[in-house]
Amino acid sequence: MRRQLLPIFAIMLGSVFLMVAGGIQGLVLPLRGSMEAFPTLSLGLLGTGWAIGYIAGCIYTPRLVRRVGHVRTFGAMAAICVISVLLTLLFINPASWIILRAATGFCFAGAAMIVESWLNERAENQYRGRVFGFYSMANLAAVMAGQMMIPLGDPANHVLFVFAAIFYALAVLPTAVSTASAPRPLVETGLDLKVLWRNSPIAFAAAFLIGASNSAYGTLGAVFGENLDLGTATIALMMSLPILAGAAMQIPVGYLSDKFDRRLVLMGVAALALAVDLYFVALQPVDALPVLVATTIFGAAIYTVYPIIIAHASDKAAPGTFIKISGGLLLMYGIGGIAGPLLSGWIMTMLPKQGLFITTLAAHVLILIYAAVRISQEKAVPEEEKSDYVGMVPGRFATPETSALDPRGHEPETGEWGEATEPEDQR
């Protein structure tokens, strides 16, 4: 395994720097926005802007790479991320921040796709699952590390913004000095609603709903913590512990979903998330300890839903179509990510301590209802016909290239990797 990881260490290090920067920026912006008395709806629009930019980056980055190559595109994306973070210090108003957040989302997606394409190129087929798992865990750790840097500075000044800019700049170095050969062309993913719906209606619907739920929490969880007057360190824990819990739950949830009807497992984790939703809406806890315990349980549930969805869709996908199906579901997740923070921000303007979890409650109830309907209409996929469950990063940090790196996306029988752009010699 060491022989596999050493050649991709530099490239993976670039991904880690990218995720650390994303973890810092994603948490410091809503905290600073709250301090600046931005309307909660505007803070929600930061998440909506990110999701719009991220989807656009996933769609258009392959075209940019086709024109100017991988290294130049990656350098441009990282540079724009640095500029966007620093400009938020110069233009402290909601409209500017929403636009800059969308630009960052676009470039973050593009940079992540290029890093993953290098990893995809270097990973040998027999080790692809372990490389993918190591990559996913490294990214989760990096996001958490970025979030836990928040207590090291004060969101009211410039230091944390500068940290984010530094890590975005550091992400350029490993790819710039890497001697690895130019990767294969990037995967292009379109949104074919009919194909996605025919493949798996429950995966189609649940991808949108969990995208709305997870993005609402990821964007406005810090604002919720501010509304409870929790300290910065507690808020950082409130956002990081759920990610850790979600990573830890991948193994038991994956085991259950491989043994039983994945839709039943989906209902189970959605019910667990719903219980936490009801706890926050009905009891409105304000003390740090119960909030941290509840949000950790919440993360254990919500961050395992997306991998279950992808696994269920993979079970039903025709040979050679996994990348197209999973990429389309990623875009559905992103569309949910546009709606979730917007709706949650609007409700939180009226109910500051309940609005966030009213939004997530609605999403989880709908997942439960529709999963039950689908179970009554269609038999479960037989265990022998199932693909393997594969733990993965939360959907808001996944790209179509993540699907290509996923061992389920490699089809040695057909050699299909999805639609790709024409190769471009970047050197």
CA separation for the pair 210, 213 (Å, rounded): 5
Q: Are 355 and 340 in contact (CB under 8 A)?
A: no
Residue whose token pair is 């604002």: 223
Q: Are 16 and 138 in contact (CB under 8 A)?
A: yes
* pLDDT of amino acid 415: 36
Per-residue pLDDT of the chain (427 residues; tens, 9 = 90+): 555 555 567 778 888 899 999 999 999 999 999 999 999 999 999 999 999 999 898 888 888 888 888 778 888 888 999 999 999 999 999 999 999 999 999 998 888 888 877 777 766 666 666 777 777 788 888 999 999 999 988 898 999 999 999 999 998 887 776 665 666 666 666 667 777 888 788 888 999 999 999 999 999 999 999 999 898 999 999 999 999 898 888 888 888 888 888 889 999 999 999 999 999 999 999 999 999 999 999 999 999 888 888 888 887 777 667 777 777 888 888 899 999 999 999 999 999 989 999 999 999 999 999 999 988 888 877 776 667 766 666 666 777 767 666 666 655 433 333 444 444 433 3
Q: Residue 387 CA to chain centroid, in angstroms?
A: 22
* pLDDT of amino acid 213: 94
CB-CB neighbours of 63 under 10 Å: 12
**Position 425 in a domain:** no
* pLDDT of amino acid 126: 65
Residues in a beta bridge with 187: 420
**Position 45 in a domain:** yes
* Secondary structure letter of residue 181 according to DSSP: P
**Position 416 in a domain:** no
* pLDDT of amino acid 299: 92
State the total domains in the chain.
Answer: 1
**Position 196 in a domain:** yes
Give Cα separations from 180 to 8, 214, 371 (angstroms).
8, 35, 45
User: Residue 385, exposed/middle/buried by CB under 10 A (0-12, 13-18, 19+)?
Assistant: exposed
Q: What is the CATH number of the domain that holds 264?
A: 1.20.1250.20
* pLDDT of amino acid 414: 37
- Encode pLDDT of 324-345 as tens digits: 777 788 888 889 999 999 999 9
* pLDDT of amino acid 316: 74
* pLDDT of amino acid 194: 78
**Position 150 in a domain:** yes
Residue (of 415, 394, 411, 3) closest to 216 by Cα position: 394
Name the residue range of residue 258's domain. Answer: 2-173+186-409
* pLDDT of amino acid 219: 92
**Position 153 in a domain:** yes
**Position 426 in a domain:** no
CA separation for the pair 148, 222 (Å, rounded): 13
CA separation for the pair 241, 357 (Å, rounded): 17
pTM to 2 decimal places: 0.86
**Position 420 in a domain:** no
* pLDDT of amino acid 408: 65
* pLDDT of amino acid 423: 40
CA separation for the pair 384, 5 (Å, rounded): 32
